[in-house]
Structure 1
Amino acid sequence: MDAIRLKETLARGGTVFGCMIVSMGTTRFRAGLQGSGADFVVIDWEHGSRDRKEVQELTGMLRSVDITPIVRVPVPMPVYVAMALDAGAAGVLVPYCEDLDEIRACVAAGKWHPMKGEYRARAVTEGVFPSEKTKTYLQARHRESIVIIGIESEPAYRNLDAILKIDGIDAIFIGPNDMTTSMGIPDEFDNPKYLDLIQDVIRRSEARGKPVLIHQWRVPDSKRAIERGSRFVLHGMDMQFMADGMREQLRQLREAAARVRGGIEVVEGRDTAETI
């Protein structure tokens, strides 16, 4: 699904599905992604060790198989938003946002790049452009632009209403690990306090037309997020999918060999993927 169709689907109340690429650094996974059913993929540039060239190669690969490329930038700074767009991203996920001016600057870069400095600031604060032609050009250039703001701490949650009032935000992201750590309940994803927060963020964001992504990596958690109203479904990551598939298939083969020959240990795999 390309970015314009993805935005249209969300705008009419539909649901889209995607995953995160954390470890993948090669375009040779193209064939696997092509048949994956993903509408979008988030390329992790915050925790993933990548340079701009690699980001550009991955965005191009995703576009070639009709998957919307979204880049999670390293920090909430407009220069990284601009770099991601220049590398071919259709959207940006700006992590761990708390400061309103910081958010405005990142949104401005996401919506009005390549304008910078005073002119970009005036476009955001006053709606003033160098000319009507410039405004029309930038609107057309960013027709597919998706700006997602990360609410990943209690201070950000307390500031949610002010954040949602900023023009140009397309969606809200919750990072479960960062959020639960900030709440003093690290990785307690079943904690009622955290579940209530998710529900409240979804309710308030949807009221302003902003769908919510929550990066879950267990199917029951993603199902629960959907049941609570999440429509921008971000599930799992590349390393986890590989580990899950390998673990399950090798388990089945060990069981088959044990039935035929006996004396083969059936090893129970375990989930070793880090949550990010």
Structure 2
Amino acid sequence: MSGKALKDKLTRGERVFGTFFQHAVCPAVVDFLPPGALDFVVVTAEHNALDVADFLPVKYALNSKGIACLARTHSRDPDDVSKVCDSFDGVVVPYVEEVAHAKALAAAAVYRPLKGRALKRVLDRDEWPSEATKQYVTTVRCADTVFIPMIESPAGIENLDAICSIPGVHAVFVGPNDLTTAMGIPNQYDHPELVALLKKVIDTADRRHVAAGCWFGRTDQMLRTIRQGARLVVYSNDSSMMRDAMAAAFADLRRG
């Protein structure tokens, strides 16, 4: 599934399933993925010592299996977002909460290589340098790009309707660790306030025809969010799933 195919699936209102790769940089790992399990993978350089470039071999291996590869950046700078989108199928940007910042990030992703005054005229007045430029940017250069801002604060949720109305926002993704910490209930992923807030996020995004979801590392929590209407399903990560599988298997073996 290319970035365009993933974007089209989201636009049609379908649910998509993915996971994080935090440590898997060897492309051979893709051969061990179960067929049909994943629509996309988000490779992340936010919470480790790696750079997104370290995941490029995995990106090409995933694409060969029909799996889209998005990159979560550490940087929240529009120029860095544009650079990432030139190599990956799309970008996931952490901690987006201000509408103006979200517009700049979306523009960097889906209107590249326009910058400066030319980009401002497009954003302010839909005034393109020419029809040829508009067709090149929207149907060639950026047609396959998926842009997903992460909502990780109460301020981001307050601005969510406006963020979801920005052209080029294809989905929104809640980071529960940052959000619950900001709410004063750190890592309480079953807390009624978080559950209610996730429903609000999903419903707000859905009214704008934007997919929404939240990361969880437990299937019961993820299923709860799916039942709330989440269409962007990002479950666990490479190292956590290996740890959980080994812990369960060897616990059984040691019990005899």
Q: Under a length normalisation based on structure 1, what TM-score does the superposition of the two structures give? A: 0.88
Report the equivalent of 1:90. Answer: 89
- Extract unaligned runs of 5+ from structure 2: none
Q: Secondary structure at the match of 2:167?
A: coil
The equivalences for 1:48-87 within 5 A come to: 48-87=48-87
Task: Answer yes or no: is the 8 Å Cα contact 2:11–2:170 preserved in 1.
Answer: no
> Aligned partner of 1:208: which letter?
R
State the match for 1:175 in structure 2.
175
- Closer, same or farther in 2 for the Cα pair 1:61/1:81, shift >3 Å? same
Say whether the 8 Å CA contact 1:14–1:231 is kept in structure 2: yes
- 158-167 or 131-140, larger mean C-alpha shift: 158-167
Equivalent residue letter for 1:197: L
The equivalent residue for 2:130 is 131
How far apart are the structure 2 equivalents of 1:116 and 1:55? 27
- Equivalent residues in 2 for 1:121-160, closer than 5 Å: 121-140=120-139, 141-160=141-160
SS in 2 for 1:229: coil
Give the equivalent residue in structure 2 for 1:184: 184
Instruction: Give the match for residue 230 of structure 2.
Output: 230
Say whether the 8 Å CA contact 2:150–2:175 is kept in structure 1: yes
Count, aligned residues:
255
Conserved 8 A contact 1:151-1:172: yes
8 Å Cα contact 1:55-1:84 kept in structure 2: no
Listed one character per residue, the Cα deviations across residues 211-256 of structure 1 (whole Å, up to 9, x for unaligned) are 1121111000000010000011110100111101111121222233
> Relative contact order (C-alpha < 8 Å, sep 6+): which is higher?
2
Are the equivalent residues in 2 in contact too, given 1:21–1:238 (CA < 8 A)?
yes
Change (3 A) 1:182 1:7: same
In the TM superposition, structure 1's runs of 4+ consecutive aligned residues that sit over 6 Å from their partners are none
Task: Tell me the CA shift for residue 36 of structure 1.
Answer: 6.3
CA distance in 2, matches of 1:45, 1:39: 20
- The answer (yes or no) to whether the contact 1:10–1:16 under 8 Å persists in 2 is yes
SS of match in other structure, 1:187: coil
Deviation larger for 192-201 or 153-162: 153-162
DSSP-derived class of the 1:215 partner: strand
1:10-53 residue CA offsets vs partner (Å, 9 max, x unmatched): 22222111100112222221211363611100111222322243
* Match in the other structure for 1:104: 103
The percentage of counterpart residues that share the same residue type is 33
The answer to whether the Cα contact below 8 Å between 2:43 and 2:52 also exists between their aligned partners in 1 is: no
Structure 2 residue 252 is the aligned partner of structure 1 residue 249? no
Aligned AA (1:252): D
- With structure 2 as the length reference, what TM-score do the two structures score? 0.94
Contact 1:33/1:65 (8 A) holds in 2: no
CA distance in 1, matches of 2:179, 2:51: 27
CA–CA separation in structure 2 for the residues paired with 1:74 and 1:163: 20
User: Which residue is 1:45 aligned to?
Assistant: 45
- 1:203 aligns to 2:219 (yes or no): no
**CA 1:82–1:197: 2 relative to 1, 3 Å:** same
> SS of 2:196's equivalent?
helix
CA separation in 2, counterparts of 1:48 and 1:129? Answer: 40
Question: What amino acid is aligned across from residue 223 of structure 1 in structure 2?
Answer: L
String of CA shifts for 1:76-130, please: whole Å, max 9, x gaps. 211221121122x111111101222221111001111122222122222221221
How far apart are 1:145 and its partner, in Å? 1.3
Q: Unaligned stretches of 5+ in structure 1?
A: 257-276
1:5 Cα deviation from its structure 2 partner: 2.5
Q: Counterparts of 2:7 and 2:207 in 1: how far apart (Å)?
A: 17
State the partner residue of 2:216: 216
Q: What residue in structure 2 maps to residue 260 of structure 1?
A: none
Deviates more, 1:107-116 or 1:57-66: 57-66
The residue matched to 2:33 in structure 1 has which SS? helix
Query: Secondary structure of 1:249's partner?
Result: helix
In the other structure, the counterpart of 2:31 is 31
